[in-house]
A and B are shown apart, each in its own frame.
Chain A
């Protein structure tokens, strides 16, 4: 589950664009390494109590948990703030309290009463109380930044939130909603970064013009996690320091530093040299080259992002059901996963990523040109047709696009790739001006509704619609399926709810204009001595609180 809002919208794409210049020549340069013998040169080392990671951190635009929605910032928040509740990254059905001690759900299912753990403090030394928890949620709703909808979807808004989230004691508060939503949905949403508990006293000391300290907090820190944020210099460095007041086990590292290294080959060199402990953005060829290095180990974990093709239903060919079906048989899934992406994705063909409640792990489609031709003939286009695909000009997306172009041509479907910068292709996609869009989608929170909401709901397919989910972007009008997705949102029984999502995915897998292809796997290269780095399903689950080296 990636808080990939803006990351996907903007910066992340560009990070990949920058790398794109150098891809080919970088491999040539590094190929030269094989030729030259490697004398053991003096070894640079990072300080023993400092973790140094190389990562593209240009997606950070704010450090305020009420606004954070990007990969990097989510991870930083996950290690520096505490949410009310959390889940076990290995088994997401195991939900437990972090700041909260326990919770009870009212008879009518519209109120959750939380108890806060007593005797714990923020990094500032202030005690963590119900007042802080209430303030944090109210603040996020009132600030109304991009991730606020994760909370406001339960019927909260700036006007009513003071009545909906109320302290009932020093260490207890009520969270009220407008409907009896599935408890799993509400709880998962409260594990999101936007529900982090901030230090009310510290934040309000920096309030200006009724901004709830937003101007200050977006570049500062007021939390209670294992680390504190000492310094953020955009596109340069983020420095975290051990929180001496942390209530849990104190981290072994006194400092954790992110260095902004945009170029993947550079990250690899730094890692090989020992100037960093962990390289976070490695390209397929870097991973291949590091596999045999005795000083380096590779660790990976499945992430929530999904790669898919969106087929615009405004296109006369793509709107035919058999054509949609044929397209799903014209992608060589396994080959792309094994070669182009080399271990950074796995084949996955349903809209809920593996690891989510109710995820469907069937992969019914594989490259089958004969079958696709049959379907095209049924649809009345036996000789195929010509369509365009807007393709982000990053090396990986471009390579995928070219592979798909080839296999589609085998059935007579002429795919013209229109390369474009990330912002460009996305702007076009959002306006429904594409034929086919090759995209990547990360869930906003750990609950299945986040993806169902966008892949299987389209309340209003008109051009003026208020909400514009992915189904809308591809002009897929699905009143019935929207109803089913809404029902799943309210189902209280987790097992029944999971079953509803499986059904939704099974249906959508066959009929939808989405050719869902892969689920992302995050791969990090680290020095052999690094131990205990946790790669979770979402970036705020990535943890180095118990890392040693």
Chain B
């Protein structure tokens, strides 16, 4: 009885220490991220006042805004002031859109989230089986095919593929809709509650609009999916090759386990552990917003927003966006760690 309580207490303390350690790491990561972004934003030889008042503003207007932005204060003080505000949930206002950063990000992020999610689903559903297939047929034509496709996907510039895709599937064949998220005719036939058009239209039963949104997203999502597929299939292939060379596979074969079971259950199950991290990081990469894809497909997402803000030295927007991306990376990393421990018996037992 006593030993049990003691044990439980010790385990509780352990958990607490781990949680505190984790929090400290996360906090340090964010602080570093913000500090570096902030400094870069100040070092860039672009005058942020220009973005606010323009090239023609009289000196008096310029000086007024310079002061309002706090640019006349020392750097550390500017950073400190900004941190204090962030701590209260106030990320400031964008110079460009004149709206609070939080509102801006709430508007642009769903577009990116939707695109990234559809893309990663496509990438995973195609990439994992392709990688497994290539590993099983190592050195044969199937393997070569997957590897070449992966190489092309990995190295072709995406806006080039994007334009080519638009040219073929939209302009020539007319099987998908063009750039943008939805046609104007459907624009007002539903209420964008979450900003995820597929979700919103489906929930409200606006199936025409759903179909239209789907035909808009499918091309850019397939392209981005192709890119993540290239990476995922390559990684799956190498993880699978590593697993298939293990002794337990030989043992299984000797025992007469059917080959499909060996590949899809025994080997893949173990390869899945590092694969989760790969997929999570690909997803995080997509969530950053693909600037070029968003530009070619006129997709009003985070990538376009951040690039535009950065080029105009709209530092509030850049810092806010960086924070969101940082949170996504940290969050997905934590999630993949969690899945890791669920999938890997050794990690599970170790904890």
CA of A38 to CA of B51, assembled, Å: 44
Tell me if B131 counts as interface (CB < 8 A to partner A).
no
**CB neighbours of A259 from chain B (8 A):** 180, 184, 298
Please name all residues of chain A whose beta carbon is closer than 8 Å to the beta carbon of B99 when the two chains form the complex. Answer: 219, 234
Asked whether A132 is an interface residue with its Cβ less than 8 Å from the other chain, the reply is: no
The residue in chain A whose Cβ has the minimal distance to the Cβ of B168 is A36
Do residues B297 and A218 form an inter-chain contact, with CB atoms below 8 A? no
The residue of chain B having its C-beta at the shortest distance from the C-beta of A427 within the complex is B47
- A163 close to chain B: CB less than 8 A: no
How many B residues touch A, CB cutoff 8 Å?
Answer: 59
Q: Which residue of B lies closest to A24 (CB)?
A: B160
Segment at the A interface, from B53-61, B231-239, B336-344 = B53-61
Stretch in contact with the other chain, from A41-49, A345-353, A409-417: A41-49
Q: Is the CB of B96 within 8 A of A234?
A: yes
> Does A11 lie at the interface of the complex (its beta carbon under 8 Å from any beta carbon of B)?
yes
Q: Which of B167, B183, B187, B291 contacts A30 (CB 8 A)?
A: B167
Q: Which of B51-71 contact A (CB under 8 A)?
A: 51, 53-61, 64
A92 interface residue (CB < 8 Å to B)? no
Q: Which residue of A lies closest to B55 (CB)?
A: A9
When distances are taken between beta carbons in the complex, the residues of chain A under 8 Å from B46 are 421, 423-424, 427
Q: Mark A4-23, 1 if CB is under 8 A from B, else 0.
A: 11111111011001100110
B184 touches A50 (CB 8 A): yes
Stretch among B21-29, B255-263, B265-273, B300-308 lining the A interface: B300-308
Residues of A within 8 A of B73 (CB): none
Q: How many residues of A contact B (CB 8 A)?
A: 74
In Å, the complex CA distance between A155 and B111 comes to 49
**Contact call A269/B178, Cβ cutoff below 8 A:** yes
A423 contacts B47, CB within 8 Å? yes
Query: Closest approach, in angstroms, between the C-beta of B298 and any C-beta of chain A?
Result: 5
Q: Please tell me if the beta carbons of A10 and B312 are within 8 angstroms of each other in the complex.
A: yes
- Interfacial residues of chain B within 272-321, with CB under 8 A of chain A in the complex: 291-292, 295-298, 300, 304-305, 307-308, 311-313
Residue numbers in B under 8 Å from A148 (CB-CB): 61
Contact present for A235 and B164 (CB under 8 Å): no
Chain A residues lying within 8 Å of B50, measured Cβ to Cβ, are 6, 9-10, 423, 426-427, 430
A33 contacts across to B, CB distance below 8 A:
167, 171
The main secondary structure of chain B at its interface with chain A is: helix
Q: Are B311 and A29 in contact (CB under 8 A)?
A: no
For residue B45, CB closer than 8 A to chain A, the reply is: yes
Are A42's CB and B174's CB within 8 A? yes
> Could you give, for residues 447-481 of chain A, a 1 whenever the CB lies within 8 Å of some chain B CB and a 0 otherwise?
00000000000000000001110000000000000
Given contact pairs A25-B163, A29-B167, A218-B98, A275 touches B307 in the complex (Cβ within 8 A): no
- The reply on A181 being an interface residue by CB < 8 A is no
Q: Do A261 and B179 have beta carbons less than 8 Å apart?
A: yes
Tell me, in angstroms, the Cα distance from A513 to B183 when the chains sit together. Answer: 50
Q: What's the nearest-Cβ distance from chain B to residue A223, in Å?
A: 19
User: CB of B144 within 8 A of chain A?
Assistant: no
Q: Which residues of B contact A14 (CB under 8 A)?
A: 307-308, 311-312
Contact of A423 among B51, B168, B185, B298 (CB under 8 A): B51
* Per-residue contact bits, chain A 235-277, to B (CB 8 Å; 1 contact, 0 not): 1110000000000000000000101111101100110110100
Task: Give Cα A21–Cα B159 distance, bound, in whole angstroms.
Answer: 9
Chain B residues contacting A182 (CB-CB under 8 Å) are none
Given known A14-B311, A58-B308, A427-B50, contact A269–B298 (CB-CB < 8 A): no
**Cross-chain contact A52 with B298 (CB below 8 angstroms):** no
Contact B56 A69 (CB under 8 A): yes
Indicate with 1 or 0, residue by residue over B172-192, a CB within 8 angstroms of chain A CB atoms.
Answer: 111001111001110100000
Closest B residue, CB atoms, query A62: B98
Q: Is the CB of A466 within 8 A of B107?
A: no
The complex places the Cα of A272 from the Cα of B98 at a distance, in Å, of 35
Chain A residues with CB under 8 Å of B173's CB are 41
**Which residue of B61, B108, B171 is within 8 Å of A144 (Cβ)?**
B61
Contact of A233 with B107 at beta-carbon distance under 8 Å, contacts A5-B54, A444-B56 already known: yes
Docked Cα-Cα span, A263 to B185, in Å, equals 22
A28 within 8 A of B: yes
* A residues near B308, Cβ cutoff 8 Å: 11, 14, 58, 235
Which of B47, B51, B157, B298 interacts with A260 by CB under 8 Å? B298
When distances are taken between beta carbons in the complex, the residues of chain B under 8 Å from A237 are 187
Identity of the chain A residue whose Cβ is nearest the Cβ of B311 in the assembled complex: A14
Nearest B residue to A454 via CB reads: B56
Contact B184 A21 (CB under 8 A): no
Q: Per-position contact with A for B26-57: 1 when CB-CB < 8 Å, else 0?
A: 00000000000000000011110011011111
Given A5-B54, A17-B311, A426-B55, A272 and B95 contact (CB-CB distance below 8 Å): no
Chain B residues, Cβ within 8 Å of A13:
311
> Given the complex of chains A and B, what is the CA–CA distance between A11 and B55 in angstroms?
11
Q: Which residue of B lies closest to A257 (CB)?
A: B184
A273 touching B311 by the CB < 8 A rule? no
Q: Do A52 and B47 form a contact, CB below 8 Å, given A259-B298, A262-B304, A263-B295? A: no
- Kindly list chain B residues whose C-beta atoms are within 8 Å of the C-beta of A18: 291, 295, 307
A146-B57 in contact (CB<8A): yes
Knowing A234-B104, A269-B171, A423-B311, the reply to whether A61 touches B96 (Cβ < 8 A) is: yes
B329 within 8 A of A: no
When chains A and B are docked, how far (Å) is the Cα of A260 from the Cα of B297?
10
Can you list 22 A-B pairs, Cβ within 8 angstroms, ordered by A?
Answer: A9-B54, A10-B54, A10-B312, A18-B295, A25-B163, A39-B172, A41-B173, A44-B177, A44-B183, A52-B184, A61-B95, A62-B98, A144-B61, A145-B61, A149-B58, A235-B305, A237-B187, A269-B166, A423-B46, A424-B44, A426-B55, A430-B55
Among all A-B residue pairs, the 5 with the closest Cβ atoms: A6-B54, A5-B54, A41-B174, A9-B55, A423-B46
Chain A residues proximal to chain B, CB less than 8 Å: 4-11, 13-14, 17-18, 21-22, 25-26, 28-30, 32-33, 36, 38-39, 41-42, 44, 46-47, 50, 52, 58, 61-62, 69-70, 144-149, 218-219, 233-237, 257, 259-263, 265-266, 269-270, 272-273, 275, 421-424, 426-428, 430, 444, 466-468
Question: What 12 additional pairs, Cβ within 8 angstroms, besides A32-B167, A269-B163?
Answer: A5-B55, A22-B292, A33-B167, A36-B172, A44-B174, A145-B61, A148-B61, A234-B104, A259-B298, A270-B178, A275-B178, A468-B59
